[in-house]
Structure 1
Amino acid sequence: MRFFFKTRYEQDIDLFRDNVDRFWYGLLLAILLAMPFLVEQFWLGEIANVFILAIVGIGLMLLTGFTGQVSLGHAAFLGIGAYTHAILLHLGLPMIVTIPAATLLSALIGAVIGFPALRLTGIYLAIATLAFAFIIEQILIRWESVTGGFAGFAVDRPELFGIGIVDDIPFYYFCLGAVILAVLAALNLLRSPTGRAFIAIRDSEIAAQSMGVNLARYKTLAFAISAGFTGFGGTLFAHRIGYLAPDAFGILLSIQLLLMVVVGGLGSIHGAIYGAIFVGALPQIIAILRDYLPENVARQPGLEPGLFGLILVFFILFEPLGIYGRWLKVKLYFSLFPLYKKATFKRQKTYTKSERFR
């Protein structure tokens, strides 16, 4: 068992708990940097896709996991970022302009949507964000002169300092740098007074308001920041799929994003990354399983959405803390072994907010 003692106040806000954590994260970074020389081109693209999902997951985690605001419309912010970036590229603007512009526009629209939704919570907020996603999808379909409608359009292949950024290895490193930037930005945000206010709102809006937290301001800010992260991920997602069409940003994608943060573990940046790995790998696993399933089952068009929903229900019922929560339990088990107590690892009963007052 390894004991950890805090001897300085600065340790409360350090990004790494101790030198052991620094070593393991440094080793992980070294492996990721060497990955293009270790795996084939196909898997390199899949890992880059996980990086993009992780950025989007971090954005949704800041809203849902840390502020307690449910959203079923983040596919719309992803589409806004992707389309804005692709359209500006088509107009001849460089990537160093289009990516910040798409991120900023997504954040502004997130703030506009967040402000009217201040009085909504729970299922009503989820329905409102779902309606917003449908509105954005219809705009992408009807505004044919800009978005191309159902036909869509191909995303230009830009260059950065003379390097084709969407080629396999440069795109991988670009996505790796982007996800590192997103993780550092989210961790520093959560250490700031703004992040503390988000967590206070999630735990109890009444208690947060009594401590002087402006609910309207911070809820709107949470929507804006979350949408900004998602729009930033959308700029990379546009190059990942290569061709933009409205059906790529439908309700199924919103459900996948929600599945990502719930399965990964709400209230944790680690959970967003674990969820991205899970959601990124699940379609490949389903594709492999189709070869072993009966033909009439494997050819069902709704197999993948059905499995997504089934997995989400199972995690909510049997592992509400997600993959990261299970990982923490495993670490605790081995750190206490053989002196652990059996009751420590029993699933704790959770209550909804309405049930806490009984």
Structure 2
Amino acid sequence: MQVLFKTDYDQDINYLVNRGERFRILAAVVLALVAPFVVGAYFLSEISIFLVYILAGLGLMVLIGFTGVVSFGHAAFMGIGAYTNSVLLGYGVPFFVTLPLAALLAGLIGAALGRAASKMHGFYMAIATLAFAIVIETAIGAWEPVTGGHMGLSVPPMSAFGWEVSAGRVQYYIILAIVLFCIWGVANLMRSATGRAFVAVRDSETSARSLGLDIARTRILAFFISASITGLAGGLLAHLTFYLSPESFGVNESLKLLLMVVVGGLGTITGAIFGAVFVSILPNIITLLQGILPQAIAQQAGLDLFLFGAIIAAFIIFEPEGLYGRWRKLRLFLETFPYYKRATFTRQKRYLKTERFR
């Protein structure tokens, strides 16, 4: 078991105190940096998509994991970011301008949604975000002169003043830099007064209000930050898919993002990364199950949605802390063996909050 002896006041505000955690993060960053020189073009594209989903999961984690606001329609913000980035690139705007504008527009729309739904809780908030996603998907499909409607929209390459970034190492490093910057930013945000306000609202709105926090303002700010990060992920994802259609950002994609943060571990940045890993291998798991199950079941429509819902329910009931919580238990077992006690971690349950004020 590792014992930390603090010799400096700065150690109280350092994000990574554990030496093992610092080593693991450094190793992960080094592997990400050398990946383009080790893997081929196909696997590099797959890793890029994986990084984008880490970014999208991080955005949703700010809202659900850190603020406690349930969202069933977060893929709509990915769609807003993807279409905004692609349309502006089509007009010749440099990509280092289109990406921030895509994130800003998604954030402003998210803040408007947060303002409209700031008094809602639990089930009603989930339904409101689901309806918002359906409205956005319908609007994108109907706005044919700009978005191409249901026929789709071809995504221009990243370009600025005649210089184009095609799929490859340069694009990968741009995505990696943005993801690392956002992870660093969210990690520091959650140590600030704003981040602590998010957690206070998540844990108890009654206590947060009694301490003088403006609940509505905190929710609106959480929606803005969450939607901005998710919109940025959508703008990057557009360059990896090369073609956009409204159906790509529908309810299925929202459930995929929700599955990511619940399975990875609510309330942790590492949980978003673990969730992205799980979602990346989930299609292979579904394909394997379809080969095992009887044909009458394997070919049923909606099998993916059924599995998404079953996995979410199973983790909420049996492992609310997600994959990251399971990893913490395993790590503690290895650090304290043979003195580990099963009662060290008491199972916790999560419920939708229903407390409200008029």
TM-score tier by shorter-chain length is over 0.9
Root-mean-square deviation (CA, aligned residues, Å) is 2.0
- The amino acid of 1:58's aligned partner reads L
In the alignment, the residues of structure 2 paired with residue 241 and residue 194 of structure 1 have an alpha-carbon distance, to the nearest angstrom, of: 35
- The amino acid of 2:48's aligned partner reads A
CA contact (8 A) 1:198 1:218 kept: yes
Deviation at 1:295, TM superposition (A): 4.4
Q: Which structure 1 segments of 5+ residues have no match?
A: none
Deviation at 1:10, TM superposition (A): 2.1
In the alignment, the residues of structure 1 paired with residue 352 and residue 93 of structure 2 have an alpha-carbon distance, to the nearest angstrom, of: 49
CA contact (8 A) 1:165 1:174 kept: no
Cα distance, 1:351–1:307 mapped onto 2, change above 3 Å: closer
Cα distance, 1:349–1:66 mapped onto 2, change above 3 Å: closer
Question: Which deviates further from its counterpart, 318-327 or 7-16?
Answer: 7-16
- SS of residue in 2 equivalent to 1:150: helix
Deviation at 1:242, TM superposition (A): 0.9
Deviation at 1:300, TM superposition (A): 3.5
In the alignment, the residues of structure 2 paired with residue 116 and residue 352 of structure 1 have an alpha-carbon distance, to the nearest angstrom, of: 19
Deviation at 1:140, TM superposition (A): 0.4
**What does residue 331 of structure 1 align with?**
331
**What does residue 321 of structure 1 align with?**
321
Q: Deviations over 1:232-256 (max 9, x none)?
A: 0010111121111111111011111
Cα distance, 1:351–1:176 mapped onto 2, change above 3 Å: closer
In the alignment, the residues of structure 1 paired with residue 272 and residue 239 of structure 2 have an alpha-carbon distance, to the nearest angstrom, of: 22
**What does residue 26 of structure 1 align with?**
26
In the alignment, the residues of structure 1 paired with residue 180 and residue 114 of structure 2 have an alpha-carbon distance, to the nearest angstrom, of: 27
**What does residue 47 of structure 2 align with?**
47
In the alignment, the residues of structure 1 paired with residue 46 and residue 58 of structure 2 have an alpha-carbon distance, to the nearest angstrom, of: 18
**What does residue 237 of structure 1 align with?**
237
**What does residue 2 of structure 2 align with?**
2
- The amino acid of 2:269's aligned partner reads I
- The amino acid of 1:40's aligned partner reads G
Cα distance, 1:270–1:162 mapped onto 2, change above 3 Å: farther
In the alignment, the residues of structure 2 paired with residue 200 and residue 328 of structure 1 have an alpha-carbon distance, to the nearest angstrom, of: 23
Cα distance, 1:284–1:168 mapped onto 2, change above 3 Å: farther
* Superposition map of 1:110-125 within 5 A: 110-125=110-125
**What does residue 139 of structure 1 align with?**
139
Q: Deviations over 1:283-328 (max 9, x none)?
A: 1333355455554444444232222222111111111110001101
Alignment of 1:282 onto 2:282: yes
- SS of residue in 1 equivalent to 2:149: coil
Deviation at 1:352, TM superposition (A): 6.0
- The amino acid of 2:32's aligned partner reads L
Q: Deviations over 1:198-229 (max 9, x none)?
A: 01111111111111211121111000010000
In the alignment, the residues of structure 2 paired with residue 61 and residue 140 of structure 1 have an alpha-carbon distance, to the nearest angstrom, of: 25
* Superposition map of 1:165-204 within 5 A: 165-204=165-204
CA contact (8 A) 2:122 2:352 kept: no
Cα distance, 1:128–1:210 mapped onto 2, change above 3 Å: same
In the alignment, the residues of structure 1 paired with residue 206 and residue 147 of structure 2 have an alpha-carbon distance, to the nearest angstrom, of: 43
Cα distance, 1:186–1:161 mapped onto 2, change above 3 Å: farther
Q: Deviations over 1:169-226 (max 9, x none)?
A: 2222222111101101101111111001101111111111111211121111000010
Q: Deviations over 1:99-136 (max 9, x none)?
A: 01111111111111101111101010000111111111
- The amino acid of 2:98's aligned partner reads T
Cα distance, 1:173–1:294 mapped onto 2, change above 3 Å: farther
Alignment of 1:106 onto 2:106: yes
- The amino acid of 2:233's aligned partner reads G
- SS of residue in 2 equivalent to 1:65: coil
- The amino acid of 1:53's aligned partner reads Y
Q: Which structure 2 segments of 5+ residues have no match?
A: none
- SS of residue in 2 equivalent to 1:191: coil
- The amino acid of 1:211's aligned partner reads L
- The amino acid of 2:73's aligned partner reads G
In the alignment, the residues of structure 2 paired with residue 114 and residue 137 of structure 1 have an alpha-carbon distance, to the nearest angstrom, of: 18
Cα distance, 1:259–1:350 mapped onto 2, change above 3 Å: closer
Q: What TM-score results when the alignment is normalised by the length of structure 1?
A: 0.93
In the alignment, the residues of structure 2 paired with residue 56 and residue 194 of structure 1 have an alpha-carbon distance, to the nearest angstrom, of: 20
- The amino acid of 1:154's aligned partner reads S
**What does residue 214 of structure 1 align with?**
214
Cα distance, 1:161–1:185 mapped onto 2, change above 3 Å: farther
**What does residue 79 of structure 2 align with?**
79
Q: Deviations over 1:64-88 (max 9, x none)?
A: 1001111111111110000000000
Cα distance, 1:353–1:84 mapped onto 2, change above 3 Å: closer
**What does residue 16 of structure 2 align with?**
16
